[in-house]
Chain A
């Protein structure tokens, strides 16, 4: 299994990670190695095994519908770069 430069560039765009040409070459090798490793797993016969959604063989615990959180806006906004009238401010987004 190989990964192309184009794949890496696309994934980088989707993940909003900037990579320069030199890094792409390094990633091409590193990610290729990881994919090769994963490929070895494909050799195992899994026909009779049901796919798992999670490595833990357990089921999810659910929570009763009760309010447990209080307003901590001040604490959270103290570490935000910009706020106004209780809103978090971000660079303008136009749809």
Chain B
């Protein structure tokens, strides 16, 4: 049987405010346990929450960036449940009147088409603390530094139909919130966490199937794997004539396994009600206008500018513009290097590969965009070959030296581009390889001839001690052999 996959996402975005949503405690990451958990965060009796204005500004900026309506009067509710990392016994969140109403985001698909994913709403809420399940004499350790960190939870409509679309949406959202500067986007620290709702229905059917929710995915890769895993699990059950149980599941990315966390029957009855400690928050036009005026360039606009200003194609522009830090790095390299296409190739090639291999973010890169730009200049003006450029990149990355020209000198990577000198070498090599020359000249297929040129390059590079300009060698070879 053929199935349609239906996917909706809930995304928790940690806001990059200095302080918590309802208290003046710092939100800085990595502090000693509980040193940033104070009276309000610990739910001490007699304390009252006071909302952080910046959290509202960030939520409004987000709403404007996703083409959503801003709720002028938003209300906080209590979601009641017991868990030790939630000292109040309820999470302060929004239900009936969330700050951000319906909106949408357009994503680029692999086939070059654009797809609109609708956002149902986004609301402000507080994060919980962390439970450490290592053994403390049979007890659990609780760190409440994270408790009260402001979040926006973004809820989409079930508009995605496969893992690629869901990941494309997640990446787009990541690009938007990091460009806005409202979230640091560091997924390894839990700054963005994804819950995926998945259901299957017979192909073409109008009726939605029963869905499951897979919670707390903290990387794009795990999200992709978790979707593939859950789709397969549901398909197996349905094709065996079984039924899907509405439940919350946990996915273990390291083992590619999932297990049920709770089913609908056991689902919590959260008993939401308006929080009596907080009055409704009113936002006026001036506040919204101010947020609108502070919006920076967003990924879609940046992509269009990259195509226009640097002559990049749709794919390259989309990839580089999607992440604000990568975009800034590329721009620095392109401005300095004066060759945007070459800069784009190096940023997406060698540079991104190294970041991935070492699991580093752009911000943690040991080299700057300007340094890569200097390298691009020397590749573009033929001072070094691409093989030489890789050696320079290596030296920059390892911190051996931070100056491109100094590295080229120190390592003797400068190419010989003096045509007179190169011609002499070509003459000598051709004279020493009469059989291959004859073979080449008897060959009528230009494709095969092109391949045969490679046979001369080795000896030529050897003769020039690796410093001959391969492009020029090639040109001279073709001319001399052809004539």
Contact = CB atoms under 8 A, between A and B. Distances in A.
A10 to B, nearest CB: 8
Interface in A38-93: 53-54, 56, 58-69, 71-73, 76-77, 82, 84-93
Contacts of A21: none
A16 B131 CA distance: 20
Given A62-B52, A66-B24, A86-B33, A92 B38 contact: no
Interface-central residue, B36, B44, B140, B261, by most chain A CB under 10 Å: B140
A53 B39 CA distance: 26
Nearest to B139: A89
Given A59-B280, A71-B35, A87 B141 contact: yes
A16 B426 CA distance: 88
B140 A92 contact: yes
Interface residues of B, number: 54
Contacts of A92: 133, 138-140
B26 interface: yes
Contact of B50 (A59, A63, A82): A63
B274 A54 contact: yes
Contact of A72 (B38, B97, B133): B38
Nearest to A16: B82
A66 B18 contact: yes
A69 B142 contact: no
Nearest to B144: A88
B278 interface: yes
B295 interface: no
Interface in B252-274: 261, 269, 271, 274
B234 to A, nearest CB: 22
A88 B142 contact: yes
B51 interface: yes
Interface string B138-170: 111111100000000000000000000000000
B143 A69 contact: no
B53 interface: yes
Contacts of A10: 269
Given A54-B280, A63-B52, A93-B131, A68 B35 contact: no
A48 to B, nearest CB: 18
Given A59-B279, A89-B142, A68 B24 contact: yes
A54 B279 contact: yes
B206 interface: no
A71 B41 CA distance: 12
Interface in A8-47: 10, 14, 16
B250 interface: yes
Contact of B34 (A16, A86, A90): A86
Nearest to A89: B139
B53 A63 contact: yes
A76 B42 CA distance: 9
B464 to A, nearest CB: 62
A67 B280 contact: no
A24 B56 CA distance: 44
A84 B141 contact: yes
A60 B34 contact: no
A62 B279 CA distance: 10
A56 B137 CA distance: 48
11 contacts: A14-B80, A66-B18, A69-B23, A76-B44, A77-B34, A85-B141, A86-B33, A87-B136, A87-B142, A90-B142, A93-B83
Given A53-B75, A89-B139, 20 more contacts: A10-B269, A14-B271, A54-B280, A58-B279, A59-B282, A60-B278, A64-B53, A65-B17, A65-B52, A65-B55, A68-B19, A71-B36, A73-B34, A82-B139, A89-B140, A89-B141, A90-B139, A90-B140, A92-B133, A93-B140
Interface of A: 10, 14, 16, 53-54, 56, 58-69, 71-73, 76-77, 82, 84-95
